[in-house]
Amino acid sequence: MTVLGRRRFLGLSGAALAGVLGASGCSRTSQQEAVTTAGADVIRWWDHFQPLKPLYERMFAEYGKAHPGTRVEHVVYNPSEMGQALQLAFKSNQIADVHTVAGLGSSEAALVAGGWFSPLADPDAIRAKLPADSLLEGLHVFDGKLYTFPVFTPRQYTTLTWINRELVEKAGGDPDAGPATWDEFRALAARITKDGGGRAYGWIQGLQFQERMQTHVTELAMSAGAAFAIIPGAGEMGLVDPRTGDYPYASEPFVQALEFLLSLVRDKVVFPASTSLDARTARARWATGVAGMFFDGSWNIGVVNGQFKQFAGKVGVGPVPSPDGEPVLYGAPAQGQLFVSSKSRHVEAASELLARCTGPEFSRALAGYMDQVPLDLEAVATADVHPTYKRAVELFGRNVRLAPSPVSRNPAVTQVISEMKEQRPTLGEITQGILSGEITDIGKSLREHNGKLTAERERATRVVSGKGVRVSLDDWAFPNWKRGEDYTAEMYRQ
């Protein structure tokens, strides 16, 4: 019998390990080669729309039937992981033919300039199926070439008042309309809390989710008269007063909006655990009947219908409450969601596939998922959806106007946004501080925040201008903007 010495054993183990690694390396290479070989018949599609997965897969199946031999490979990413996947795949030439841009943290203009996308083939066919004014230079069109188009509507907001009909009715409220004014909201919340006797409260919200609270405060401020020019995707750094181009956070509507929320806390009508909840957990608690009202977007009923079906029949919806009951909100021009990669060898096929995401039929199918609102609002009226979803979309159509966007005037402003550093505490964090009692002087904290953002934007503009880019603070102001009216594509050219 051969005796295996320690050194010999180690040597053999090392050789075996090297062999295994080498073999696995070979198999990986073979696998990659197989994918590449099969790539001639495969269009790869990456997005982050998990709730819409069945919709897209049905569309891909129909495309496959119409184009035998061509298959669409669909991957749905977690939004938080998508940016990293795209960066790595783009660098290594493995990016999908069609993809969204979630998590890249760059504007469409910067990505087009960076060579990420191909212009869409047969753009006229796509233009013909889109509503007028939905395509803007700097967002969808670059140097006259169409790169993308909006799939979701810009006419929507996140601060709809969702209602537990039973609790609201019991407290004497109107379960079909919801409270219209801040005073009505406050009074109704107080009555629900009183009737609840410690088991139900007037209002529940995910106060820990400060980014969402920032959105609610911004929309409540709009309902109180604030108006914005908006850079989509830029958060609070991209919201300015369209008349002056200045940041609006120190204005009276923001103070009033925060005082309204604070009054709910002081009235003790807020569900006690709200401070530790985010949007999802707040919705889950709301669906158990612990609170009468809850602010959320139109997708709320889609989630309730999917996860808390027994509660869906008790749900009603009203508009964002406002001081006078007649809110006017402004929506950012809708961004394009899907792009054809510059690395794609199937630009025509991918463009044809993308073109299927337009038109009333697609909008109706999209509405059926009660998630994001389709670009064509009228299609929702004939879609098979929960009545509250239809009402939410009606409210959007009635209350939301198109805001101007500095990006469409001068795409270089996105470079200023990229150069800007987040100013903390953010508006969402300030909101958290005010509602938790840590900040007592609302006006002062908003003025300071506004001042910091203004100084940071001036610094960033100087830096970007210093690189020879033509950009200035004038790009943010729209003197021809009119309150209560849509800012149309034509108005950019005036």
Partner 1 sequence: MSTMTRKAPAGGRLVPARRRGLAARIWAERWSYVFLLPTVVLFGMYTIWPIVSGLYYSLLDWNGLGAERPFIGLANYREAFGDPLFWKSLGVTLLIIAVTVPLRVALSLLVALVLNNPRLPLAKLFRTALFVPVVTTTAIIGVVMGFIFDPAGGPVNQLLLDLGIVDQPVDFLGDPATSLWTVMGVHMWKWFGITLVYWLAALQTIPVTVYEAARTDGAGGWAALRYVTLPMLKPFLIIIALLTAIETMQIFDLVLTMTNGGPFFSTLTTEVYIYQQAFAGTTPRLGYGAALGVLFGVFTLVFAAIQAVGLRYANRVRSSS
87 binds partner 1 (CB under 8 A): yes
Q: Write the CA distances from 107 to 187, 370, 412, 415, integer angstroms.
A: 43, 27, 10, 8
Phi then psi dihedrals of residue 183, to 5 deg: -65, -45
CA nearest to 356, candidates 52, 33, 59: 59
424 binds partner 1 (CB under 8 A): yes
Candidate list 46, 185, 203, 271; residue touching partner 1; CB under 8 A = 271
CA separation for the pair 262, 307 (Å, rounded): 31
- For the packed helices 442-466 and 427-435, what is the interaxial angle rounded to 10 degrees? 170
Task: Using the structure block, give the residue that is written with the tokens 């020019």.
Answer: 229
Q: Which is nearer to partner 1, 307 or 436 (CB)?
A: 436
Helix (H) or strand (E) holding 291: strand 291-296
CA nearest to 395, candidates 325, 472, 470, 303: 325
Name residue 290's amino acid.
V
Stretch that binds partner 1, among 33-41, 56-64, 84-92, 187-195 (CB under 8 A): 84-92
467 binds partner 1 (CB under 8 A): no
Strands (E), 334-452: 339-341, 400-402
CA separation for the pair 90, 111 (Å, rounded): 11
Contacts of 17 (CB under 8 A, 6+ apart): none
CA nearest to 206, candidates 298, 270, 301, 267: 270
Candidate list 22, 54, 105, 387; residue touching partner 1; CB under 8 A = 105
272 binds partner 1 (CB under 8 A): yes
CA separation for the pair 281, 303 (Å, rounded): 12
95 binds partner 1 (CB under 8 A): no
Q: Which is nearer to partner 1, 291 or 392 (CB)?
A: 291
The minimum distance between CB 366 and partner 1, in angstroms, equals 27
Q: Which is nearer to partner 1, 27 or 84 (CB)?
A: 84
Stretch that binds partner 1, among 51-59, 324-332, 352-360, 415-423 (CB under 8 A): 415-423
276 binds partner 1 (CB under 8 A): yes
Site for partner 1 in 1-60 (CB under 8 A): none
Grouping H, G, I as helix, E, B as strand and the rest as coil, residue 296 is strand
Site for partner 1 in 379-398 (CB under 8 A): none
Pairing of strands 160-164, 315-318: antiparallel
Candidate list 256, 274, 322, 363; residue touching partner 1; CB under 8 A = 274
CA separation for the pair 341, 94 (Å, rounded): 10
The minimum distance between CB 158 and partner 1, in angstroms, equals 16
Stretch that binds partner 1, among 101-109, 172-180, 356-364, 448-456 (CB under 8 A): 101-109
Q: Write the CA distances from 64 to 47, 58, 59, 362, integer angstroms.
A: 19, 10, 9, 17
Counting Cα atoms < 13 Å in the Cβ hemisphere of 231 gives: 29
Candidate list 421, 462, 482, 483; residue touching partner 1; CB under 8 A = 421
Q: Which is nearer to partner 1, 31 or 288 (CB)?
A: 288
78 binds partner 1 (CB under 8 A): no
Binding mask 281-320 for partner 1 (x = CB under 8 A): ----x----x------------------------------
172 binds partner 1 (CB under 8 A): no
Candidate list 98, 168, 207, 340; residue touching partner 1; CB under 8 A = 207
Q: Which is nearer to partner 1, 68 or 466 (CB)?
A: 466
91 binds partner 1 (CB under 8 A): yes
Summarize as ranges the residues that interact with partner 1 (CB under 8 A). Answer: 83-84, 87, 91, 104-106, 207-208, 210-211, 235, 271-276, 285, 290, 418, 421-422, 424-425, 429, 432-433, 436-439
